[in-house]
Amino acid sequence: MSLYLNFLHTTVRFDVAAEAEAAFAPVRRFFRHLISTDAPREPTFRIDVRHYEPERDVAPHVWRTPTSVVRRSNAAEFNFDAHVVEGGGRRLYVNRATLLDTPVDTAKDNTFALRVTERSTVQVLDFVRDLVIRNEENTGTVVLHASGAHRDGEAVIIAGPKGAGKTTTLLSVLRRPGWRYFTGDKLFCTVESGAVVVHPWRDYPYVGVGTIRADPRLESMVREGVDDRVDDHDPGHKILIDPDVFESWLGSEFSAEPRRLTALLLPEVVPGEPLSVRHLTDGNERWAHLNKIVDRQVDTTFFTWQSYLVPDYTDFYRSLAGLRTALDSVAMVRLRGTLDVDPDAVLGRSDAPAQTTAPTTAPTTAPTTAQENG
């Protein structure tokens, strides 16, 4: 079975062996908004996917080599290491769940071999995301670290440091008429006809048990579809929630359709303090805030030892510079206080829809500890 993940300038071809289809199925489901049986271009990367049996497929001496850190995260499921072995112009990353056979340089060889088990899903999602981000950066796409909502072809994104109130702001926006979930953590920027266009990337939310218990509907969904032991965990414990479950709770399924960026909200939660709004008009201040949320893979603390694809950033920085002019069409707003945010009011829109109560499909409480990892 051949499948194609098509995203912006990147096409990944997966050739999935019959015996690997069951283990690969969760990956296919996660990326279903991008995967098809057709490709608009020659594949950027080719990945051969087969079933993995560690004792059969890995030589004994590999298990005796030291392990290297592949990923460290707040989510336990996204913490994983690998034995790294080189030979024959290839590099192997091996652990008990997954085996990844990579080229040394994708500019010369774009083929990968992936061996999967039922425990491979998170590692494969992380690998594919890393591969796509690196390739997009190499072609000049600017990646931003932000969440967002959309309505009528426009996107409003929300950014800030950990604990600023991004998730609280996002969920308050989603309670307003017509606004729907856009992206939870990352988006890719292009400039088209002078406007900033943002392309969402699906994420895997990581939510605190205290937050889950605060919303009976979410608690029921987690108990039935994710973790039936939710009562056994402390309030501070976090659970990786299936994106379909999370989006069902939001009442807004993910869509890969790009949107025009119209506003960037920068929240600072101060409980009990009335919401204050400040529009940023100084060009240098606006540019500084944008640069704070640019997600350069070179800046990350994981995957830095991988070298099969290292962006040279020439086109990336050219595109980033081009965003400065296009940013003139994007409102940038600082929000401080109790973050119950109506984006139409914040943006001063006189044609905003009449205020209504939250739809029954929207969450009734605002989580404060949701974090993307997928």
DSSP letters for 285-330:
HHHHHHHHTB--GGG-SSSTT--S-----HHHHHHHHHHHHHGGGS
13 in Cβ contact with 1 (< 8 Å): no
Q: Distance between alpha carbon 290 and the CA centroid of its chain, in Å?
A: 18
Report domain extents, the chain: 2-139, 142-372
How does DSSP classify residue 242?
P
pTM for this model (two decimals): 0.86
Q: At what angle do helices 314-326 and 283-292 cross, to 10 degrees?
A: 140
The pLDDT profile of the chain, 374 residues, written as one tens digit per residue, is 999 999 999 999 999 999 999 999 999 999 999 999 999 999 999 999 999 999 999 999 999 999 988 887 777 778 889 999 988 889 999 999 999 999 999 999 999 999 999 999 999 998 999 899 999 999 999 999 999 999 999 999 999 887 788 888 888 899 898 999 999 889 999 999 889 999 999 988 877 787 788 788 888 888 887 888 888 888 778 788 889 888 888 888 899 999 999 999 999 988 889 999 999 999 999 999 999 999 875 554 444 457 788 888 899 999 999 898 899 889 999 999 988 899 999 998 755 443 333 333 445 444 444 444 54
Can you list the alpha helix ranges (DSSP code H) found in the chain?
Answer: 21-30, 54-57, 60-63, 121-139, 166-174, 209-214, 216-225, 243-250, 283-292, 314-326, 343-346
182 in Cβ contact with 158 (< 8 Å): no
Q: What single letter denotes the amino acid at residue 356?
A: T
d(CA 369, CA 59): 42
The tokens for 165 are: 């109130």
d(CA 61, CA 65): 7
